[in-house]
Chains A and B, each alone.
Chain A
């Protein structure tokens, strides 16, 4: 039985109506008890969320329009936002986020293929699924540790290249601004493989197998079936994965950046989320940190809203 929202958010409970017709006295008493219990039980969560998330959001909005160093606050006003738009540093940082977006299709495409392979259920596929999903249990810090060693001048990557005969292409990816971002992106993609593969595998499991069988009998090659039947049917899952990947790229890479590059070289790997930390922690410009924080929040909110729309498709109802 789903929650039915009538006008102004009030709730209808058919069972209660039934009781009401027979015993009016009990009805109001029971209803009151239920209401009281409901309020009581949902209070802790509300308090926690409002207190530790809601209030700080409001504060962040306030402080975003001030100059703040943790002790003294100087009000500036909404002009901080207009100044932001003219600030080249802002655009440099946003550029990094935008470049990271380029990694998203790859972070989705590779898992799609892997999920398709797993979906064939070749012997041992469950073992492989476990293995592919394991990196999700690992801290970004640990992943960053390895990535550091992988991309360094004396690291695994160069060792591999030398092994394959491309020794002359040895690079120190973490030394260049854009190459460091690329290293970050590659590490990010690697980490997202597990999560996205599971999403797509779950999606493929929900597909009606007769659709693929029908296509097989009708004469399509496996590749054609993948692109013309499986993929279109996975649209919702691809959308979901897209949103999750973008959200991760913008708000979950802090540890990676912290360990791998500290935002550098220069502004090379300073994404929005890291810049917030930098302005606040290193430059003690807490107002600026709040400002960028609000920008990040707005982006995340948009992404979150998009996701909400995706989870509740046409049928409405529910929450």
Chain B
């Protein structure tokens, strides 16, 4: 069990690229921290620095309080699971798992046997112990890679996208197994992935990384409900949060909303011909908004906070948007409606590809909705869930 801390860790490669910028990270004992971000964001580089496979340009990495920057990988007592599994093709499954114990020294033969047997049992690899890696399926190989890490009984696991070479169904299954395994072993684990679903389901905490910098480090729910900036907002959640360039007006009249009348003065969010009132509660909950009155901001609306106005419970006062409908996707348990908002769509630089919107917003609707493609529909907005972001910095506007 170990605490791992990264303090202002930076990695610059000889060709000038900075892969990791002043990363601060603290992983608690027994925690499963996920590093998530798009390809090339530096998460794997950070992991490799923790393993000792890459040199740290500046900053310190410490394990259990001791700085390990200059410590060779083999003395850090960390086990790593590689994306390609890194199984020795000339050795059997058993030998692969026993390999490090045999040649690292210090473990008796009987103990090696016991540990490998235990790991094989947990990972259901017992029938395959004498096979060579090329005779195994992808999922089995992945488990051997895990087994090799487990038998070492290290103080921490590092996992570099261990599931990305598996097909979707297997991935879902293995995700659960890894989570259970980590919990039962209680070993500190740092897990790297580009898949935000994996991150959300696995992590005790998740660190969202972009362009070498940590955007936000928090528990999954926190990332989802209170993203710290546009990148996190657009990266976490599927379908991604709708981001709209808008202006926060001081006062004005809003058209009547669904389920009742809504009018009067008060701050408004304006984009295109659309106006959404900002209720006093919302203003109270986001005091910083005061400073943005009259300024350009970015609105964030999660698809599940948009619904068919016709299906909104009576008596609730949800503001509405009238938008032309481009696409209706039937998913069985829900319907995704893509509505056009034209040039108001916020297109971010960098970040997830999801952010390159096609000038539509997506709404996750009740399957009973009768909204169809080609017509203009009335969409209700759960105004209390609107997120606000500074257009210039991308930071979330809250306190």
A contact set with B: CB distance below 8 Å:
208, 210-211, 213-221, 224, 228-229, 232-233, 235
Q: Which of A217, A224, A235 has the most CB of B within 10 A?
A: A217
Q: Which residues of chain B are near A208, meaning CB under 8 Å?
A: 84, 86
Residue from B83, B89, B90, B99 within 8 A of A218 (CB atoms):
B99
Determine how close the nearest CB of chain A comes to the CB of B216; give it in whole angstroms. Answer: 29
List the B residue with the shortest CB-CB distance to A228. Answer: B103
B140 within 8 Å of A (CB atoms): no
Contact B103 A211 (CB under 8 A): no
Q: A211-B86, A211-B88 are in contact. Are A219 and B80 (CB under 8 A)?
A: no
Shortest Cβ distance from residue A231 to the other chain B in the assembled complex, whole angstroms:
10
Residues on the B chain within 8 Å of A224, using CB:
103
Report the bound CA distance from A107 to B152 in whole Å.
Answer: 39
Given the known A-B contacts A213-B53, A232-B90, A233-B90, are A218 and B84 also in contact in the complex, defined by CB atoms under 8 Å? no
Chain B, Cβ-Cβ closest to A213: B53
- Residues of chain A with a CB closer than 8 A to B158's CB: 217
The answer to whether B86 touches A219, judged by C-beta atoms less than 8 angstroms apart, is no
Our pick among B80, B84, B89, B90 for the contact of A217 (Cβ within 8 Å) is B80
CB distance from B16 to the nearest CB of A (A): 18
- Cα distance A229–B74 in the bound complex, in angstroms: 15
- 15 A-B residue pairs with CB within 8 Å: A210-B86, A211-B88, A213-B53, A214-B80, A214-B148, A215-B100, A216-B52, A217-B52, A217-B76, A218-B99, A219-B100, A221-B74, A229-B88, A233-B88, A233-B89
Residues of A within 8 A of B84 (CB): 208, 210
> Given the complex of chains A and B, what is the CA–CA distance between A87 and B246 in angstroms?
102
B79 on the interface (CB 8 Å rule)?
yes
Chain A proximity mask over B55-96: 1 for CB below 8 Å, otherwise 0: 000000000000000001111101110111010111000000
Q: Is B51 at the interface (CB under 8 A from chain A)?
A: yes
- Contact of B104 with A220 in the complex, beta carbons under 8 Å: yes
**Once bound together, how far apart are the Cα atoms of A68 and B79, in whole Å?**
73
Give every chain B residue within 8 A of A218 (Cβ-Cβ): 74, 79, 99-100, 104, 148, 152
State the Cβ distance, A54 to closest chain B Cβ, in Å: 40
Assembled-state Cα–Cα distance A98/B52 (Å): 48
User: Nearest Cβ in chain B — how far from A226, in angstroms?
Assistant: 12
Are A217 and B53 in contact, with the CB atoms below 8 A?
yes
Residues in A whose Cβ lies below 8 Å from that of B152: 218-219
For the complex, give the distance between the alpha carbons of A217 and B156 in Å: 12
A-side contacts of B88, CB under 8 Å: 211, 229, 232-233
Distance, CA A229 to CA B90, complexed state (A): 9
CB distance from A4 to the nearest CB of B (A): 24
Say yes or no: A217-B103 contact (C-beta < 8 A), given A208-B84, A210-B84, A233-B89: no
**Which residue of the partner chain B has the closest CB to A221?**
B74
Distance in Å: Cβ of A139 to nearest Cβ of chain B: 40
Instruction: Say which size band chain B's interface belongs to.
Output: 20 to 34
From residue B135, how far is it (CB to closest CB) to chain A in Å?
12
Instruction: Report chain A residues within 8 Å CB of B148.
Output: 214, 218
Measured CB to CB, the nearest residue on chain A to B76 is A217
Q: A213 to chain B: which residues have CB within 8 Å?
A: 51, 53, 73, 80, 82, 86
CB-defined contacts of A215 to chain B, threshold 8 Å: 99-100
Q: Is the CB of B104 within 8 A of A217?
A: no
Chain A minimum-CB-distance residue to B77: A219
CA of A232 to CA of B148 in the docked complex: distance in angstroms?
19
| 342-384 of chain B: CB within 8 A of chain A | none
Q: How far is the CB of A177 from chain B (nearest CB, A)?
A: 43
For the complex formed, measure the closest distance between the CB of B290 and the CB atoms of chain A, giving whole angstroms.
52
Contact among A210, A217, A232 for B78, CB-based, below 8 A: A217
Please provide the chain B residues from 243 to 298 with a CB less than 8 Å away from any CB of chain A in the complex.
none
Given contacts A208-B84, A210-B84, contact A219 B53 (CB under 8 A): no
Q: Determine whether the beta carbon of B86 is less than 8 Å from that of A214.
A: yes
Nearest B residue to A220 by beta-carbon distance? B103
Q: Given A210-B83, A213-B80, A233-B90, list of 12 further CB < 8 A pairs?
A: A210-B82, A210-B86, A213-B82, A215-B99, A215-B100, A216-B73, A217-B52, A217-B53, A219-B74, A221-B74, A233-B88, A235-B90
In whole angstroms, how far apart are the Cα atoms of A219 and B86 in the complex? Answer: 15
- Docked CA distance A224–B103 (Å): 7
Q: Which of A211, A220, A233 contacts B100 (CB 8 A)?
A: A220
Give Cα A208 to B74, complex, Å.
19
Question: In the complex the two chains form, is A214's CB within 8 Å of B74's CB?
Answer: no
Closest A residue to B102 by CB, please name it. A228
CA distance A224 to B82 in the complex (A): 20
A214→B82 CA distance, assembly (Å): 8
**Chain A, residue nearest B75 (CB):** A219
**B78: A residues at CB distance < 8 A:** 217
What chain A residues lie within 8 Å of B74 (beta carbons)? 216-221
Task: Specify which chain A residues have a CB less than 8 angstroms from the CB of B73 in the assembled complex.
Answer: 213, 216-217
Closest to A224 in B: B103
Cβ–Cβ < 8 Å partners of B90 in chain A: 232-233, 235
The interface residues of chain B lying within 8 Å CB-to-CB of A210 are 82-84, 86
In the bound assembly, the distance between CA atoms of A315 and B187 in angstroms comes to: 42
What string of 1s and 0s marks CB contacts (under 8 Å) between B206-242 and chain A?
0000000000000000000000000000000000000
> Considering the chains assembled together, what is the distance between the CA atoms of A220 and B79 in angstroms?
12
A218 to B104, CA, bound (A): 8
Instruction: Report the bound CA distance from A215 to B100 in whole Å.
Output: 7
B72: which A residues are within 8 A, CB to CB?
Answer: 216
Q: Which residues of B contact A233 (CB under 8 A)?
A: 88-90
Bound Cα distance from A213 to B81, whole angstroms:
11
Complex Cα gap A235–B88 (Å): 13
| Residue of chain A at shortest CB distance from B89 | A233
In angstroms, Cα B72 to Cα A220, docked, is 10
Q: Which residues of B contact A219 (CB under 8 A)?
A: 74-75, 100, 103-104, 152
Whole-angstrom distance between the Cβ of A301 and the nearest chain B Cβ:
30
Whole-angstrom CA separation of A211 from B80 in the bound complex:
11
Residue of B nearest to A233 (CB): B90
Complex: A213 Cα to B82 Cα, angstroms: 9
Least Cβ–Cβ distance between A61 and chain B, in angstroms: 42
Closest CB-CB distance, A95 to chain B, in whole Å? Answer: 36
Contacts of B82 in A (CB 8 A): 210, 213-214
